[in-house]
Structure 1
């Protein structure tokens, strides 16, 4: 089972979220941009038979705090070293794909004692002309707009990045062989971008600006394996790498499975010892309940465990309280039995009582529109429209004078709407099920 954890870096207070699975020697896994550690869930499920797999969200991505200022690749490399130190890991092998590999090579150059070896999927070495193209178009600002126009751009950007590379280069010469239009896959990438927000430019930009960091042939370096499969736009970059230390190897392979098999064999050969007890915060985490996880924050053993309303998500609990993302909402897994899961969470957290939310006013059939991902991304705009309207009317769908509420300008700030819309998108169909469960308690959710 993949578990999730939060670790605060003592020196800076920066929060790092990471996924973990398996047992045995530790393997660090660094994701590509603008993704999160979620992209490694499949691979962690396979490689956890050989390793304790640890995959952090890089700064500014997923659920990890961003780095301050305008960080460069060295800052991301140092942040990775800080994470390993706070985790309690002295040395380990590591795997990174695309920009994850760029960060790892920089980290190994600056902190060589941390790594026994690196396996990398594709290593980018851009030409000056390519960098000019990226610099002009690749990282536009991503900021919520009042009426959700940014979501139309985001959906199509994530949809078409499997069609052409770069995602805006709509020419036959730029076509990719693995094009798809899978709404579920696009939706998952969209949610990751919504988590990162404009911070994606810092992480992605640092990687794009990073210099070629291959050590000279006479350098003393931990071993590195770089492979790229057919269809990966970075496979052609293998020929650009040039001279390397003798314990480095770069090769083009035929298929993704071959890249993964060679990487795994290399990493197993360079495994370090079993990891110590890994560090994590005491005031936030995920409870394993059955086959799922419940996100919580606050104080274990609290008198009160607070629950949020349907289509919302965990708010910062009051001092001395504990709160959870209810099943299917926020960062919690979905569960068939909502009541049993809530009670299991209460017992595991040692809370004395539950503070139930009030039910939202209105018809449940209208309060929670269908937000299942569709081919054209229309569900994103439905979530945005509901989140905007609820700052003007109660219930939100009754747009008339009789249901108007006092206007709270803060609630109409695009960033605030974006948070509510993301909560709705995360909940999806679970919101209506949770509403129905609350109704079943006493008829009014209390």
Structure 2
């Protein structure tokens, strides 16, 4: 493979049309495949990644506090000539954190080496943005011959004393949802001041400000990283030090693009003088930087290396309750599953605006004896929304769920549904009678089948469209909190006041708020697709928490057809798994 020119001529800006639409014949011969998500276990740690494109391998790592989702734009460009593997950094997205040393860049270099080995990749190009660039740099320092090239996008020098003070807001869930606005303030501040928390005239950035939808997506990625997000983030900032530049002997590029938040810091490194193994690549704008970097890789023949073989994965559930992706004719479903032995399989279907995460504790308990499967329904959690009208939503969702169950080899399953999940379960039994034994209601949310209730819900349902103020975050948190306080939440009266044995839990409310925000503004549209489904015909058992409202026990407020066979659940939700297993065995 030809290495970068030792004269280190800087690469100047070229348009996306000049590069991403390369006119040579080899560009048109590359088959572009759609993005696929998967997991790999590296040294005992589960790593989530996105794969896109065809050609030699390229590892891609994202900025903090984001996930591999933020690398999609880059993958679309580099995937023309490379097989891109965009990783969720440890502790971000769906990747597990390092067991120790989450802020230690040498440990992250080791983790990256383990991941490359687990993916069976040879000599990949290693690309990193911001935090990802720090990991790529640390990897190149520790394993100088393990990569074809280290591509550093916004690698610079930080004054850590000036930067780190107040840089990481507390995102521990609060009862008033204030942590959500703190997260919004940080993400939006990244585009206003440098560092973001120092709102002084001399710190003001002059650049385009993102649309609310982009900020919203970034905030969700921060919140999904959890309260420990700052460990790697801070470790990467500390690593970006001029003193570390000379430690890298591997071939490297340093991307310099106009309007980057760290442009002045990057330019400082260049003005200081870079070692000969670094090649600066200049771009006029953020969008063109990927094209210019791809142009460099093409000109230096990095894309002539052997391509990565096509990848196929057989879908199967292991012994532990773990995440996986299931491809169906209706699109990809993110799921969690376990192949527990001995008892009938159980499939969980969440309510609209929920996710598989609501079943985490129950499914984990049941997985010791039952095969279990919980899915994010299309447009929820980490399952993408598929194109089509609302009228097609129910049949397409039922088809996807049925195919997912079949792919795992489950038969004669008991379906446990919450709210709309119960109604979908009944349709599933009609469409796939050989797959479903019975449909069971978990009555932690109302089942809407009456037009009057749907109209009341629609009138109360708040818009979760991203707002420049971040107010939509608080609206979602408010709905999630009301779900704990009223039965039903859209009728907030003395009669609907809900009394529960368990205290109001900000963490639980936060989780439901994130689910609502991920489902977006289609929340009421989803309900419109299912409110008219009659669940009466097939539901045989109703699992009911011991909750009281102003109207009496919740069990007395269920539709009559749900009260044929009631199994009460204990006050402690941690014990529900055991109670449900016993009820299903009867």
Same-fold status (TM-score > 0.5):
yes
Q: 2:377 aligns with which of 304, 317, 326?
A: 326
Tell me the alpha carbon deviations over residues 336-392 of structure 1, each in whole angstroms, 9 at most, x when there is no partner: 332213313422441445726242325432564221111211111111111112222
Cα distance in 2 between the residues matched to 1:24 and 1:386: 47
Cα distance in 2 between the residues matched to 1:200 and 1:279: 32
For the 8 Å contact 1:225–1:266, the answer to whether it is kept is no
For the 8 Å contact 1:238–1:251, the answer to whether it is kept is no
Residue aligned with 2:245, SS: coil
Tell me the alpha carbon deviations over residues 79-110 of structure 1, each in whole angstroms, 9 at most, x when there is no partner: 21121122222320021122211110101111
Cα distance in 1 between the residues matched to 2:176 and 2:496: 21
Structure 1: runs of 5 or more not aligned? none
1:46-125 matches, cutoff 5 A: 46-71=77-102, 72-125=104-157
For the 8 Å contact 2:170–2:179, the answer to whether it is kept is no
Cα distance in 1 between the residues matched to 2:120 and 2:312: 6
For the 8 Å contact 2:334–2:375, the answer to whether it is kept is yes
TM-score by length of 1: 0.89
Shift of 1:277: 6.1
Q: Which residue in the other structure is 1:240 paired with?
A: 269
Residue aligned with 1:434, SS: helix
Q: Which deviates more, 340-349 or 183-192?
A: 340-349
Tell me the alpha carbon deviations over residues 7-28 of structure 1, each in whole angstroms, 9 at most, x when there is no partner: 233x33x221111111221111
Shift of 1:224: 0.7
TM-score by length of 2: 0.69
Cα distance in 2 between the residues matched to 1:430 and 1:305: 24
For the 8 Å contact 2:53–2:83, the answer to whether it is kept is yes
Q: 1:43 aligns with which of 41, 53, 74?
A: 74
Q: Which residue in the other structure is 1:341 paired with?
A: 397
Shift of 1:423: 0.8
Cα distance in 2 between the residues matched to 1:60 and 1:259: 27
Residue aligned with 2:484, SS: coil
For the 8 Å contact 1:7–1:279, the answer to whether it is kept is no
* C-alpha RMSD of the superposition: 2.7
Q: Which residue in the other structure is 2:506 paired with?
A: 414
Q: Which residue in the other structure is 2:226 paired with?
A: 197
Q: Which residue in the other structure is 2:417 paired with?
A: 357
For the 8 Å contact 1:88–1:276, the answer to whether it is kept is no
Q: How many residues align?
A: 437
For the 8 Å contact 2:126–2:147, the answer to whether it is kept is yes
Tell me the alpha carbon deviations over residues 91-137 of structure 1, each in whole angstroms, 9 at most, x when there is no partner: 200211222111101011112232110222221112xxx32122212
Cα distance in 2 between the residues matched to 1:54 and 1:275: 11
For the 8 Å contact 2:355–2:380, the answer to whether it is kept is yes
Q: Which residue in the other structure is 1:382 paired with?
A: 475
- The verdict on how the C-alpha distance between 1:95 and 1:358 changes in structure 2, with shifts beyond 3 A counting, is closer
Cα distance in 1 between the residues matched to 2:141 and 2:496: 62
The alignment status of 1:147 with 2:176, answered yes or no, reads yes
Structure 2: runs of 5 or more not aligned? 1-33, 318-322, 420-444, 447-452, 540-586
Tell me the alpha carbon deviations over residues 267-291 of structure 1, each in whole angstroms, 9 at most, x when there is no partner: 3432442225669784433334468
Cα distance in 1 between the residues matched to 2:220 and 2:250: 36
Cα distance in 2 between the residues matched to 1:278 and 1:247: 33
Q: Which residue in the other structure is 2:14 paired with?
A: none
Radius of gyration: which is bigger?
A: 2
Cα distance in 2 between the residues matched to 1:256 and 1:244: 23
For the 8 Å contact 2:129–2:152, the answer to whether it is kept is yes
- The verdict on how the C-alpha distance between 1:44 and 1:391 changes in structure 2, with shifts beyond 3 A counting, is same
Q: Which residue in the other structure is 1:431 paired with?
A: 523
Indicate the structure whose relative CO is greater, using CA pairs within 8 Å and at least 6 residues apart. Answer: 1
- The verdict on how the C-alpha distance between 1:408 and 1:291 changes in structure 2, with shifts beyond 3 A counting, is same
Shift of 1:313: 0.5
Cα distance in 2 between the residues matched to 1:273 and 1:63: 29
- The verdict on how the C-alpha distance between 1:345 and 1:267 changes in structure 2, with shifts beyond 3 A counting, is farther
Shift of 1:408: 4.0
Shift of 1:257: 4.6
Q: Which residue in the other structure is 2:192 paired with?
A: 163
Cα distance in 2 between the residues matched to 1:369 and 1:8: 40
Q: Which residue in the other structure is 1:173 paired with?
A: 202
